[in-house]
Amino acid sequence: MKTIKFGVFGLGRGASFYNNILANNGDVVAVCDRDAAKLEEAKRRLGNGVATYTDFDAFLNHKGLEAVFLCNFFHQHAAYAIKALERNIHVLSECTSNATMAEGVALVRAAEKSKAIYMLAENYPFMKFNQEMRRIMEGGTLGKPMYAEGEYNHPFDPTNEKSAKKLIPYADHWRNLIPRTYYITHSLAPLMYLTGATPVRVSAMPVWDPYPAGSMFGLAQHGDRAAIVTCLNDDDSVFRVTGWATYGTEENSYRVCAEKGQVEKLRGNGSRVLLTYNKWDVPEGRERITEYEPEWNDPDRELIEQSGHGGGDFLVIREFFRCIREKRQPQFDVYFATTLASVAILGHRSLLGRGTPYDIPDFRRAADLLRYENDRSSPFLSPDDPDFIHRSSHREITSPENAEAYNRFMEKVTL
């Protein structure tokens, strides 16, 4: 098996992948981060032979570097991916591929010109229950999928100051600025993976419930707790997903309703699957209703079970490396990734318009690339920027004074 010389950019999240990279016969030859302590920690864990950089361009120029993992801030991946692709360096990119439509256009153009592979590092489809649900859908006993649901619920404890400082250390951190539709990969990507359907039209509504004024999150976070996003797909099926929701309890759950029945990951933090057929559609030798805990049928089971995010962190690295070694494009390619990002971005515009529908572009088409090549609207900009777009359904409920108060509050919190 060919060893892949790998570089990791952004060691907050990136460091959690070291073991998975090594277990898949990857060699972390270079790391890049602006935090000197994280660079020293990389040397401690990987050995002094790993090269450390604070400059991304110098990192990319590391001799022999074949592939990079982009684990930097959520909304800042596209520009770095483009630089790597222009050097024919393979790219694995965390979270969202692009934060603006123009970035998506530029990313697709760079990927199409490059000899390198681009893959989105979306790990939730690789979780055990989603792997099992995909197996069932591919088996065909449920027939054509018609409707599916995906929820990613990840609320924060507003009284846990230390946790908040780790996740949102200052007022203009991306987690305080992100609209609820933007972190959509964990709810939408599994449904695309399970069914093979691709969204072509989106509409979204907000769930508005601001944190109390004067509370830690009330000082700096907008008031939408979730976005209810509806997608019409290219096969006439419909998805309903949440983006990043902060209502209810922490969990992620999925359901696919098809012609002959349905399959779902049961709510809660377990991995149990419920498979149900219509009374008149039960396949020969099957039960009408089956609830069970799926098992890994994989030679790497032990490594998978030791990995984070339900095994997804190991499997996303394995799939990326396999694509490089086998010289094939991944399912989560640049078009898959930019479709997810387009649903996120245009879904938020729909939410601001109280459900106004938007067509999702297909960036394989020249006309769609031209339409969005100069669309730089972003919620991550200063409100004074002409390309700024509001972050929540009720516009911004924070003020510079609130942001300053949040920063002063966090300065007093010790980890």
364-394 pLDDT per residue, tens: 999 999 999 999 999 999 989 999 999 999 9
Average pLDDT over residues 136-148: 98
How far, in Å, CA of 336 to CA of 104, rounded? Answer: 11
Among candidates 229, 170, 201, which has minimal Cα distance to 351? 229
Among candidates 146, 374, 123, 183, which has minimal Cα distance to 262? 146
Among candidates 31, 49, 27, which has minimal Cα distance to 39? 31
Confidence (pLDDT) at 371: 98
Confidence (pLDDT) at 199: 98
Confidence (pLDDT) at 47: 95
Confidence (pLDDT) at 291: 97
Confidence (pLDDT) at 211: 84
Q: Are 101 and 342 in contact (CB under 8 A)?
A: yes
Predicted confidence band of residue 213 (pLDDT cuts 50, 70, 90): confident
Within the chain, all domains assigned CATH 3.30.360.10 are found at 124-295+334-372
50-99 pLDDT per residue, tens: 999 999 999 999 999 999 999 999 999 999 999 999 999 999 999 899 99
Q: Are 321 and 26 in contact (CB under 8 A)?
A: yes
Q: Which CATH class is domain 124-295+334-372?
A: alpha beta
Predicted confidence band of residue 219 (pLDDT cuts 50, 70, 90): confident
State the architecture of 4-120 in CATH terms.
3-Layer(aba) Sandwich (3.40)
266-308 pLDDT per residue, tens: 998 789 999 999 999 999 999 999 999 999 999 999 999 988 8
Average pLDDT over residues 19-36: 96
Within the chain, all domains assigned CATH 3.40.50.720 are found at 4-120
Half-sphere exposure of 35 (CA within 13 A, CB side): 12
Average pLDDT over residues 5-29: 96
Confidence (pLDDT) at 403: 86
Predicted confidence band of residue 133 (pLDDT cuts 50, 70, 90): very high
* Ramachandran angles phi, psi of 138, nearest 5°: -70, -25
Average pLDDT over residues 153-179: 89
Confidence (pLDDT) at 143: 98
Identify any residues that bridge with 273 across adjacent strands, giving them in sequence order: 265, 292
Q: Are 300 and 322 in contact (CB under 8 A)?
A: no
pLDDT, averaged across the chain: 94
Confidence (pLDDT) at 216: 78
Confidence (pLDDT) at 363: 98
Q: Quickly list DSSP for 320-344.
A: HHHHHHHT---SS-HHHHHHHHHHH
| Site of tokens 């692009």 | 98
Q: If residue 316 lies in a helix (H) or strand (E), which one and from where to where? A: helix 312-326
How far, in Å, CA of 351 to CA of 349, rounded? Answer: 5
